[in-house]
Structures are given as structure tokens and as C-alpha cells.
């Protein structure tokens, strides 16, 4: 009959203690205690922490620091409270409808019949949400302009409408992993990345302290721009933007909370269309 040493017996007993919260290992006369976690989430340290001041509007960064004097405490607390955001900024990002890819110029790359139908469905969906829209921002490219105009027919006439060249389609940053069939010139990334980054800074930020009510801004633009915005807003590596697929006429909803936290409420939503109307390329 086989015999086991004291050390082997201890090792065998240890294997049976996996489900417990503590495990003890004895080696010779010394004894060591180790915490064994029931779930990886209880022993997890994030590799990258959330940058609370991503929009440079974190209240503590806007207020003069405390001087260390007791009488300065009230001043600091009052200014800190005044600098805090009190409302939610909702950004609803719409990708244009399907368009003619064979157009030689932007004016010729207009929506197809299906693309116009997709814009109609999206306009109807947005109208059904019964939201008090504050602003519609349109890319200046033809397919986005046409999509926005169709959508606007379903929304109240008094909504302010603005055109913005910053949210035109482009190449935000070289994607990782690379895509073999799509390789813009390095100069295009250099030019487009600065423009699209500027667009992000223009529209993505927490509500200013004087804003009392939640706001809803509609941006009608393009897939590359929206995908880059989503990565940036969630503080994901922006090089991963091309891993996201967006349907034509889709709705992507981002909410910026008063705390500066960002919530992605929907991504490429096209549930308002029958499957036969859904396209992405």
C-alpha cells in the first residue's frame, strides 16, 4: 500500500479547499496564510483608471485650491458647489442612409431610394420618443444633409439646425488591427484626426452649471466619426474604432452625466426597421 509523506498529505488536502475562502499551506515548521478569492472581480485592479477630468470640467479643477486656512473652507465649498453640473447632456448620433458609392463627387453621392426610406424610418422613430430636442447638427456632406432633412420633417419645426464641417466623414486614426482593403494615405489621417478630435471636443462635455434641464442634441453624420466618438467618450483605445459596425440610419445614444461619467445607451440601433431595410455597406 502506498504511503504519503506529510507534505503530500497537506497538498492533497489543499486541493479540496478550493471552494473555501482561505487556504493554508504548511512547509516544515512554518505556516503561511493566503487569501483565495471566490471571484476575480473581488481581486481586480483596473489597468486603466477613468479620467474624471476628461472634458476639463471637473469642478475641483475649476476652483482655486484651499489655502489651508480654516476660514477658506467655506469659500472653497461654495465655489465647488457652484461649479458642479446639474443636468444630463444626451447626444444622439445618426448615421446617414445608404448612398450611391459610385458618385465622382460629394454632390453625386446622394441617398439611394433605400437610403431615403431608412431616413424616413429613423425620423419616425425619433419622433415617437417624444423628446424636446435642443439642436440638430448636420454634417455638410450631401448624404448627411439629405438624411437630416428627411428626419427633420418628422420633428418640430422650431428646432435649431446647424451645419458643421468638423463632423464630415474621414479617417480618425490608423485602426488596430489594420484593414487590408482600406489604407488611406498617412496625410489623410494627419488631417482628419485633428478635425474629428476638434469635433469631439466641441460636442462632448458635461453640462455647464447654469444648465438646469437635460438637453438633447441630434448629430447626423458618418460611421467613422460616430465610431471614433464612442471610443473616445468611453475612454476606450481610439484605434479600435473600426471594430464597431454601424448600420445606415442607425441611432447611437450617448449620455454625459453631471458627474462626468458617460453612458452608452444604444449603439447602431435599427430595431425600428424591418430586416429587409437594414444595410451597413
183 is known to lie in a ligand binding site? no
For the sheet containing 262-269, what is the strand order? 160-164, 135-139, 215-221, 89-95, 251-256, 262-269
**CA 264 distance to own-chain centroid:** 6
- Within 8 A by CB and 6+ apart from 132, the residues are 216
Half-sphere exposure of 228 toward its Cβ, with a 13 Å CA cutoff? Answer: 26
Distance CA 106, CA 103 (A): 7
Distance CA 207, CA 5 (A): 68
Beta-bridge partners for 251 = 94, 269
Beta-bridge partners for 215 = 89
First-to-last C-alpha distance (Å) of the chain = 71
Distance CA 204, CA 246 (A): 20
Residue list for the binding site: 143
Residue list for the binding site for substrate: 143
Amino acid at each position: 500500500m502506498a504511503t504519503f509523506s506529510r507534505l503530500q498529505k497537506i497538498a492533497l488536502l489543499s486541493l479540496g479547499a478550493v471552494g473555501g475562502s482561505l487556504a493554508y499551506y504548511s512547509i516544515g515548521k512554518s505556516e503561511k496564510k493566503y487569501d483565495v478569492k471566490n471571484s476575480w472581480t473581488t481581486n481586480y485592479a483596473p489597468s486603466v483608471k477613468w479620467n474624471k477630468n476628461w472634458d476639463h470640467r471637473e469642478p475641483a479643477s475649476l476652483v482655486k485650491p484651499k489655502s489651508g486656512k480654516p476660514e477658506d473652507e467655506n469659500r472653497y465649498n461654495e465655489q465647488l458647489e457652484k461649479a458642479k453640473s446639474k443636468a444630463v447632456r444626451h447626444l444622439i448620433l445618426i448615421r446617414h442612409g445608404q448612398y450611391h458609392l459610385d458618385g465622382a463627387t460629394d454632390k453625386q453621392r446622394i441617398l439611394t431610394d433605400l437610403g431615403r426610406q431608412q431616413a424616413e424610418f429613423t425620423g419616425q422613430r425619433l419622433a415617437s420618443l417624444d423628446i424636446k430636442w435642443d439642436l440638430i447638427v448636420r454634417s455638410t456632406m450631401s448624404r448627411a444633409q439629405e438624411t437630416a432633412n428627411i428626419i427633420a420633417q418628422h420633428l418640430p419645426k422650431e428646432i435649431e439646425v446647424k451645419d458643421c464641417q468638423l463632423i464630415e466623414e474621414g479617417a480618425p486614426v490608423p485602426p488596430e488591427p489594420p484593414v487590408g482593403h482600406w489604407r488611406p494615405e498617412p496625410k489623410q489621417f494627419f488631417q482628419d484626426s485633428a478635425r474629428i478630435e476638434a469635433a469631439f471636443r466641441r460636442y462632448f462635455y458635461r453640462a455647464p452649471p447654469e444648465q438646469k434641464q437635460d438637453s438633447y442634441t441630434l448629430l447626423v453624420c458618418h460611421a467613422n466619426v460616430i465610431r471614433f466618438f464612442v471610443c473616445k467618450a468611453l475612454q476606450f483605445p481610439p484605434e479600435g474604432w473600426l471594430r464597431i459596425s454601424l448600420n445606415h440610419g442607425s441611432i447611437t445614444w450617448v449620455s454625459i452625466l453631471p458627474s462626468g461619467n458617460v453612458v452608452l445607451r444604444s449603439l447602431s440601433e435599427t430595431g425600428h426597421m424591418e430586416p429587409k431595410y437594414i444595410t451597413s455597406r
